[in-house]
């Protein structure tokens, strides 16, 4: 176990300005909090955070990171709380420890191996400070090193698989090669011990010849380069058993068939030297075509820079050669941690050197002050996405701004279609709420429920929008189909023509519809005239020309009547019978599931009943273009009971082009009649005109619009 003064010394060796007091306090605090807890190995638990801190000192990380490593399991595994950490070590350390704790909890809650890519993104999105991720990776590294102490083989395999799926790729993504290699190797040992053994045995068999070969190649490359004035350092390295195994799998090849289980590295002083050395090597050896890669001009996304080429080497064997500067080499090996180190050395050539990491982390804030470079940089990776969990822990990635409706449709179309509500982190929340990173979302379902056309406005994913529209169109078609069937049946019944299945089949064929449903839908939506169907089916019922014209005129009026704007196309609407709104009046729609939208005047008293349900309100207006449309208005009229008074009423209405639809006497006394009068009018101006004309008549005592 590393001793207290040793740890402080290690950090001081590369960072003389480190806060020793803070380090000492963290050491003592963690040791005390973990107390007598034991690891599976039988060691005191405290040895674990201490080793994690040790791994991070190898990466030369700053004092706060080392302190965080010492404290990283205190919140999750001891009595300590976040406020305790804040109080004793300050909020900065508290934030880092809290970040690591959150990642640990996620690890426990998520069924991650099924969704590795999403989980990796999620870990990145959650580790707002890169140091949180570095501590987490070091934590995993130590857990992998001590994995063999865990007795349960299922648990061991699960941890190893997770390491390969999640943590090794993360280490690669932030460019820490050693960490990635060791994680892979440890996991490979656990998961495919046999394969690893046979690769090792094979390598050993090739071993002696290989060692000789490697030295020959190193010597010759060194001589060739220095003769040509390139000052360089050459080393050779066998690839790791895991990367050989992966390559064998990818290429379905045996070890002998793999040409490049050896990689040679030529480390040169400057960037210019990289290309000069490349020229020397290409001039001296035969180049294998198609293998040259310039990762200096175009670095890999994780910032890796190097020249790669393959040549036929000194022993007439294909060898891979990588050429890079010492600095590029350090970045290739240690990634983000190397940058950290440069930062502390106060390296001047920062602008270019750090470009790749800015790209990698998609850092939006411009790092003007170099000292703020990593410390205050949040990982803005995947800022355009949110990651949420199902109750079973499955991770779902959605665009930022997504709502539970998007989540429901992302889960399954049926889940979306039957969704009636959502529980987020166990609480009921509206369907319009914006989801946040890490939310656990449970969709509440109802078998009888269907999507609301208004959901279109509160979802952002294409899938949800498309499915909602599809559903609305489908339902609209069903309504048209049922409506069309009723119309056709009525039309045939009036003419006493029997509408048999055989006749329907004939009609479909004549009108070129592939199904009866298609035929009915066409009648229902007004594209096909039911009378035309009748005449074709039963020529004897064809009416005279006059009748046809009249019918056509009437139909035209009906089909043009789409008087309301602001409704989702295809949604059924009715004019409320309580207030009889008229064109020209301000109106609102109230949606009812399965019943479409009811149109009320803005001042209708019935609206009070819906104040608590703003989601049912629809902003609608009369369509100015539908001048042909007529609406029914109901009037309460009191009229003098005298001869000719009724005739006067009717003639005033007639003179003003208002058609009487219904007339009912509700009260009759010796002197007066009270009437309910339904008239068809064009709009509210038309109605007030009529009312004014009636008021002018001496026989009319009072006249009002009926409000329910
Ligand atoms: Mn730990």
What pLDDT, in 10s, does the model give residues 492-510?
888 888 888 888 888 888 8
State the residue for tokens 């605090």.
29
With a cut of 60, say whether residue 626 has pLDDT above it. Answer: no
Query: Same CATH fold, 631-705 and 4-149?
Result: no
Print the SS3 string covering 33-48: HHCCCECCCCCECCHH
CA–CA gap between residue 360 and residue 121 (Å, rounded): 13
Q: Which residues contact 62 (CB under 8 A, 6 or more apart)?
A: 15, 18, 131, 340, 344
With a cut of 60, say whether residue 6 has pLDDT above it. Answer: yes
Q: How confident is the model at residue 629 (pLDDT cuts 50, 70, 90)?
A: low
With a cut of 50, say whether residue 345 has pLDDT above it. Answer: no
Length of the chain, in residues? 708
With a cut of 70, say whether residue 5 has pLDDT above it. Answer: yes
CA of 73 to the centre of ligand 1 (A): 5
Average pLDDT over residues 58-80: 90
With a cut of 80, say whether residue 347 has pLDDT above it. Answer: no
Poorest-pLDDT segment among 242-246, 362-366, 495-499, 640-644: 362-366
State the residue for tokens 């199902």.
390
CA of 178 to the centre of ligand 1 (A): 20
Please report, for residues 335, 390, 394, the alpha-carbon distance to residue 410 in angstroms, rounded to integers and kept in the order given: 36, 11, 12
Per CATH, domain 4-149 is 1.10.3210.10: yes
CA of 554 to the centre of ligand 1 (A): 80
CA–CA gap between residue 459 and residue 417 (Å, rounded): 13
* 318-325 vs 262-268, strand pairing mode: parallel
Average pLDDT over residues 211-228: 83
pLDDT score at 143 = 94
Q: What is the DSSP string of 184-223?
A: HHHHHHHH-HHHHHHHHHHHHHHHHHHHHHHHHHHHHHHH
With a cut of 50, say whether residue 217 has pLDDT above it. Answer: yes
Please report, for residues 24, 147, 242, the alpha-carbon distance to residue 199 in angstroms, rounded to integers and kept in the order given: 45, 22, 9
Q: Of the listed 77, 178, 233, 260, which one is catalytic?
A: 77
pTM above 0.75, yes or no: no
pLDDT score at 104 = 80
Q: How confident is the model at residue 582 (pLDDT cuts 50, 70, 90)?
A: confident
Q: How far is CA 411 from the centre of its chain?
A: 11
Q: How confident is the model at residue 363 (pLDDT cuts 50, 70, 90)?
A: very low
Poorest-pLDDT segment among 85-94, 262-271, 416-425, 665-674: 665-674
With a cut of 60, say whether residue 559 has pLDDT above it. Answer: no
Please report, for residues 120, 556, 566, the alpha-carbon distance to residue 168 in angstroms, rounded to integers and kept in the order given: 10, 70, 53
Average pLDDT over residues 251-278: 79
Element of type H or E holding 10: helix 4-14
Angle at 110 between CA 107 and CA 112, to 5 degrees: 90
Average pLDDT over residues 317-343: 73
Average pLDDT over residues 595-609: 83
Task: State whether the Cα torsion 644-650-654-656 is positive or negative.
Answer: positive
Q: Is 77 a catalytic residue?
A: yes
CA–CA gap between residue 396 and residue 407 (Å, rounded): 8
Selection from 361-365, 551-555, 583-587 with the highest mean pLDDT: 583-587
Under 8 Å between Cβ of 280 and 228: yes
Give me 344's structure tokens.
């502390």
Q: Which residues contact 662 (CB under 8 A, 6 or more apart)?
A: 676, 677, 678
Q: How confident is the model at residue 625 (pLDDT cuts 50, 70, 90)?
A: low
CA of 66 to the centre of ligand 1 (A): 13
CA of 302 to the centre of ligand 1 (A): 26
Q: How confident is the model at residue 556 (pLDDT cuts 50, 70, 90)?
A: very low
Element of type H or E holding 54: helix 47-58
CA of 592 to the centre of ligand 1 (A): 54
Angle at 406 between CA 111 and CA 170, to 5 degrees: 40
Give me 594's structure tokens.
């399965």
Element of type H or E holding 238: strand 233-238
Higher-pLDDT residue of 34 and 205 is 34
pLDDT score at 544 = 59
pLDDT digits 0-9 by tens, 293-303: 888 887 776 67
Q: Is 76 a catalytic residue?
A: yes
CA–CA gap between residue 64 and residue 23 (Å, rounded): 8
* Mean predicted lDDT score pLDDT of the chain: 79
Average pLDDT over residues 19-24: 93
pLDDT score at 545 = 60
CA of 141 to the centre of ligand 1 (A): 10
Where does residue 387 rank: exposed (0-12), middle (13-18), buried (19+ CB within 10 A)? buried
Higher-pLDDT residue of 434 and 314 is 434
Print the SS3 string covering 271-330: HHHHHHHHHHHHHHCEECCCCCEECCCCCCCCCCCCEEEEEECCCCCEEEEEEEEHHHHH
Where does residue 680 rank: exposed (0-12), middle (13-18), buried (19+ CB within 10 A)? middle
With a cut of 50, say whether residue 379 has pLDDT above it. Answer: no
Give strand pairing partners of 388.
Answer: 396
pLDDT score at 539 = 74
Selection from 204-218, 354-368, 558-572, 587-601 with the highest mean pLDDT: 587-601
With a cut of 60, say whether residue 372 has pLDDT above it. Answer: no
pLDDT score at 54 = 95
pLDDT score at 22 = 94
CA of 156 to the centre of ligand 1 (A): 16
Average pLDDT over residues 138-143: 94
Under 8 Å between Cβ of 641 and 686: no
pLDDT score at 210 = 67
Please, what's the largest Cα pairwise distance for the chain? Answer: 130
Question: 415 phi and psi, to 5 degrees?
Answer: -60, -40
Task: State whether the Cα torsion 28-34-38-40 is positive or negative.
Answer: negative
Q: Of the listed 15, 19, 20, 76, which one is catalytic?
A: 76
- Per CATH, the number for 631-705 is 3.30.70.260
CA of 56 to the centre of ligand 1 (A): 13
pLDDT score at 378 = 33
Higher-pLDDT residue of 202 and 113 is 202
**pLDDT more than 90, % of the chain:** 16
> What does the DSSP 8-state code read for residue 426?
T
Average pLDDT over residues 473-488: 83
State the residue for tokens 């069309």.
484
Q: Where in the chain are the domains?
A: 4-149, 194-343, 564-626, 631-705
Q: How confident is the model at residue 514 (pLDDT cuts 50, 70, 90)?
A: confident
Give me 423's structure tokens.
């529980």
Poorest-pLDDT segment among 58-62, 258-262, 488-492, 602-606: 258-262
CATH superfamily for 194-343 is Beta Polymerase, domain 2 (3.30.460.10)
């Amino acid at each position: 176990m590393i001793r207290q003064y040793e740890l402080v010394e290690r950090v001081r060796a590369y960072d003389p300005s480190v806060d020793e007091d803070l380090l000492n306090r963290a050491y003592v605090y963690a040791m005390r909090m973990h107390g007598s807890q034991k690891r599976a190995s039988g060691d005191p638990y405290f040895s674990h955070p201490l080793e994690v801190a040790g791994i991070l000192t190898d990466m030369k990380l700053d004092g706060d990171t080392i302190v965080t490593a010492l404290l990283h399991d205190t919140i999750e595994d001891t009595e300590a709380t976040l406020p305790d950490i804040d109080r004793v070590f300050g909020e900065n350390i508290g934030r880092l420890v809290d970040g690591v704790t959150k990642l640990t909890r996620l690890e426990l809650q998520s069924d991650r191996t099924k969704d590795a890519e999403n989980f990796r993104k999620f870990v990145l999105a959650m580790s707002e400070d890169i140091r949180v991720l570095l501590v987490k990776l070091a934590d995993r590294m130590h857990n992998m090193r001590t994995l063999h102490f865990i007795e349960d083989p299922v648990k061991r395999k699960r941890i190893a698989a997770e390491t390969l799926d999640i943590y090794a790729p993360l280490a690669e993504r932030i460019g820490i090669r050693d960490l990635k290699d060791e994680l892979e190797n440890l996991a490979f040992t656990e998961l495919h011990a046999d394969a690893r053994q046979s690769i090792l045995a094979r390598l050993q068999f090739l071993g002696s010849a290989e060692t000789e070969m490697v030295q020959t190649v190193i010597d010759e490359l060194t001589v060739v380069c220095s003769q040509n004035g390139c000052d360089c350092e050459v080393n050779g390295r066998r690839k790791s058993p895991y990367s050989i195994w992966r390559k064998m799998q990818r290429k379905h090849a045996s070890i002998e068939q793999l040409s490049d289980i050896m990689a040679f590295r030529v480390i040169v002083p400057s960037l210019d030297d990289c290309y000069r050395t490349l020229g020397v090597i290409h001039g001296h050896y035969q180049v294998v075509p198609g293998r040259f890669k310039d990762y200096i001009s175009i670095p890999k996304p994780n910032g890796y820079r190097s020249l790669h080429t393959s040549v036929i080497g000194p022993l007439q064997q294909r060898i891979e050669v990588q050429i890079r500067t010492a600095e590029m080499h350090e970045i290739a090996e240690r990634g983000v941690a190397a940058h950290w180190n440069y930062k502390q050395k106060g390296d001047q050539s920062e602008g270019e050197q750090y470009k790749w990491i800015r790209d990698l982390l998609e850092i939006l804030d411009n790092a003007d002050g170099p000292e703020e470079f990593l410390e205050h940089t949040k990982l803005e990776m995947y800022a355009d996405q949110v990651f949420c969990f199902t109750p079973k822990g499955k991770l779902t990635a959605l665009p930022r701004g997504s709502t539970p409706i998007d989540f429901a449709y992302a889960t399954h179309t049926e889940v979306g279609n039957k969704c009636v509500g959502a529980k987020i982190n166990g609480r009921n929340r509206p369907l319009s709420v914006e989801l946040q990173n890490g939310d656990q979302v449970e969709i509440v379902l109802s078998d009888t429920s269907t999507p609301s056309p208004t959901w279109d406005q509160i979802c952002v994913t294409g899938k949800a929008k498309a499915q909602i529209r599809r559903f609305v169109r489908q339902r609209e078609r069903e309504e048209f189909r049922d409506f069309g069937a009723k119309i056709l049946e009525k039309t045939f019944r009036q003419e006493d023509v029997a509408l048999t299945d055989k006749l329907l089949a004939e009609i479909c064929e004549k009108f070129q519809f592939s199904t009866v449903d298609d035929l009915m839908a066409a009648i229902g939506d007004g594209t096909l005239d039911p009378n035309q169907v009748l005449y074709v089916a039963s020529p004897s019922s064809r009416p005279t020309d006059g009748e046809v014209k009249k019918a056509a005129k009437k139909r035209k009026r009906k089909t043009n009547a789409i008087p309301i704007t602001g409704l989702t196309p295809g949604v059924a609407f009715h004019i409320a019978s309580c207030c009889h709104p008229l064109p020209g009046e301000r109106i609102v729609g109230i949606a009812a599931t399965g019943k479409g939208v009811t149109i009320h005047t803005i001042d209708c008293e019935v609206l009070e009943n819906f104040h608590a349900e703003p989601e049912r309100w629809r902003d609608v207006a009369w369509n100015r273009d539908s001048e042909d449309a007529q609406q029914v208005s109901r009037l309460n009229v009191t009229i003098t009971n005298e001869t000719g008074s009724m005739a006067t009423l009717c003639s005033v209405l007639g003179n003003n082009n208002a058609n009487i639809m219904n007339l009912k006497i509700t009260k009759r006394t010796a002197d007066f009649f009270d009437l309910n009068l339904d008239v068809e009018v064009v709009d509210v101006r038309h109605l007030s005109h009529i009312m004014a004309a009636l008021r002018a008549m001496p026989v009319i005592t009072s006249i009002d619009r009926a409000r329910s």
